[in-house]
Homo-oligomer: A and B are copies of this chain.
Amino acid sequence: MNFNANSPLVVITEFPVRYAETDAMGVVHHATYLVYFEEGRSQFMREMGSDYAEIEASGFQLPVTEAAVRYVGSLRYGERVQIKCQLKENKSRRLTFNYEVANAAANKILVTGFTTHIWTDIEGKVTRAPLSWQQLYENFISSERKL
């Protein structure tokens, strides 16, 4: 996982660890990080102007086809989750997002990973990305690069 420092395509999401997310080891359960990744990805899309709820309403879906997670540290209740989400690959039929999860207060990376998605229609048939997505993506890159 390499977050490209020059890429503008990184969105940060923060929220408190939920007690329900912890397990008997006292730390956030490892499956929860896929949900954190999803929250980072949802926020990425909202900031890009392409809410995933609208994508589904317009007849497209983005199911996960692959996911990987590396755990080097842990989060506890009382801490804030910080998720960095980067759109790593934007192909016509496939997306890949990278993630870094840290303790917001400590700026120390605890968990990294990626998810790959394909574009499908509502019946699950693989399709091309909606035109609106590609347009929003171009706008997002351009606007960020002006900064």
**A interface residue numbers (CB < 8 A to B):** 15-16, 18-20, 22-27, 29-32, 34-35, 38-39, 42-43, 46, 51-54, 56-57, 61, 63-72, 74, 76-79
Question: Given the interface contacts A23-B23, A24-B76, A61-B25, does A38 sit within 8 Å of B31 by beta carbon?
Answer: yes
Contact in complex: B76, A66 (CB < 8 Å)? no
Contact in complex: B19, A22 (CB < 8 Å)? no
Contact in complex: B67, A30 (CB < 8 Å)? yes
Residues of B within 8 A of A24 (CB): 19, 22-24, 26-27, 56, 76-77
Residues of B within 8 A of A56 (CB): 24, 77
Q: How far is the CB of A65 from chain B (nearest CB, A)?
A: 5
